[in-house]
Amino acid sequence: MSEMNYQEVTKLLEEPKNVVITSHRNPDGDAIGSSVSLVLILKKLKHKVTIVFPSEYPVDFEFLTPVKRAIIFDQTPEKALQAIEKAELFFALDYNALDRVDKMAETIRQNPCPKILIDHHLNPGDFAQFVLSDTSASSTCELMWIFFQQLGYDDLIDKKVAESLYTGINTDTGSFKYSTSPRLFQVCSKLLEKGADDVKIQGLIYDKMEEKKLRILGHCLANRMEIIPEFSTAIIHLTKRDYEKFDIQRGDTEGVVNYLLRIKGIKLAAFIARQPNITKLSLRSKGNFSVQKMAERYFNGGGHKNAAGGFSYKGLTLTLERFKSILPNYEHQLKP
């Protein structure tokens, strides 16, 4: 692995090439924004550019239109692998290791073409010859700006490129709630100078909830929320009847559990819902309390320290009882 050698990269990009851009499984705003910005720039330089994602991207980001032509490995694996085999120059954006691209990894390894990695996660892998890795960066999109500047491509950054980069920065910082820095705001200032319409982009990303989803959220908060102050815990549960009445489909209740953590003093939040054969739990926590351990130990699950999930074969009432009965085991950590 070597650092980014901009002179060599400039040379690589002088002649039109078959370029493949990849990002991680379940591509998010940063993965999509960085990939799209690079497509737009490289097309101006007459390269043939293909985005290959391991799995589908959220339709929410289709306003960055070049993403619609991305090849999705899960949908057309042969097409994806063929594109990677034919690559003369390869980009890995927003991921640090080949295990993030699953079954595409071997084909990527076997293609001897030059590879460029741009990423902000810890421990960048050694599969790329050129690496721009900065864990202090908010996002890969912030690093794309620096990459383009170092290559002298400032003139190629137009409104569309700027809006792609803004999308990744906005989503990876939780709307500028974390991972911010003086440099980030400088970059954003430049993006706005390039014509990025930040208000429009935020509307496109966030203000698109279906009426049904907001009504489900309202029902959860008004009728299904329970607070257990002595254990700093909040619970929302949904019954089988709720699912029928509100015609709740997969994804309709996503994010509901997070609202509980907005309540002052709440350290543990649980969303418990009756599914056809099991009762599912989504757990969230603040600070040091590990819902991962709780999910592993009591609910056949796992995840991360502050976000985990699990299930029980018991019905809703029994699962709720069980959840409440284990809270005293965590009294030290959960007491206000």
Instruction: Tell me which residues touch Mn ion (CB under 5 A).
Output: 30, 94, 139-140, 172
Q: How far is the CB of 27 from Mn ion (least distance, A)?
A: 10
Q: Look up residue 226 and give its two tokens.
A: 């329970």
Nearer to Mn ion, 81 or 117 (CB): 117
Nearer to Mn ion, 139 or 312 (CB): 139
Identify the DSSP state of 238. E
Q: How far is the CB of 28 from Mn ion (least distance, A)?
A: 7
Nearer to Mn ion, 172 or 242 (CB): 172
Q: CA–CA separation, 196 vs 198, rounded Å?
A: 6
Contact (Cβ atoms closer than 8 angstroms) between residue 12 and residue 114: yes
Q: Look up residue 195 and give its two tokens.
A: 């014509």
Which residues are paired to 90 by β-bridges? 20, 115
Give the residue closest to Mn ion by C-beta.
30
Q: CA–CA separation, 195 vs 159, rounded Å?
A: 5
Q: How far is the CB of 177 from Mn ion (least distance, A)?
A: 15
Q: How far is the CB of 320 from Mn ion (least distance, A)?
A: 36
Under DSSP, is residue 27 helix (H, G, I), strand (E, B) or coil? Answer: coil
Nearer to Mn ion, 24 or 213 (CB): 24
Q: How far is the CB of 306 from Mn ion (least distance, A)?
A: 18
Nearer to Mn ion, 67 or 270 (CB): 67
Q: How far is the CB of 204 from Mn ion (least distance, A)?
A: 19
> Measured between alpha carbons, how far apart are the two ends of the chain, in Å?
49
Q: How far is the CB of 307 from Mn ion (least distance, A)?
A: 17
Nearer to Mn ion, 27 or 66 (CB): 27
Nearer to Mn ion, 142 or 242 (CB): 142
Q: Classify each residue of 5-40 as buried b or exposed e, where b means 16 or more C-beta atoms within 10 Å of its C-beta.
A: eeeebeebbeeebebbbbbbbebbbbbbbbbbbbbb
Contact (Cβ atoms closer than 8 angstroms) between residue 309 and residue 286: no
Q: How far is the CB of 49 from Mn ion (least distance, A)?
A: 20
Nearer to Mn ion, 144 or 256 (CB): 144
Q: Give whole-number Cα distances, 281 to 51, 154, 310, in Å.
A: 36, 48, 5
Helix (H) or strand (E) holding 310: strand 307-312
Nearer to Mn ion, 140 or 233 (CB): 140
Ramachandran class of 94: left when φ > 0, alpha when ψ lies in -120 to 50, beta otherwise? left
Beta strands in 120-195 (DSSP E): 130-133
Q: How far is the CB of 94 from Mn ion (least distance, A)?
A: 4
Q: Give whole-number Cα distances, 260 to 118, 263, 267, in Å.
A: 36, 6, 9
Contact (Cβ atoms closer than 8 angstroms) between residue 26 and residue 94: no
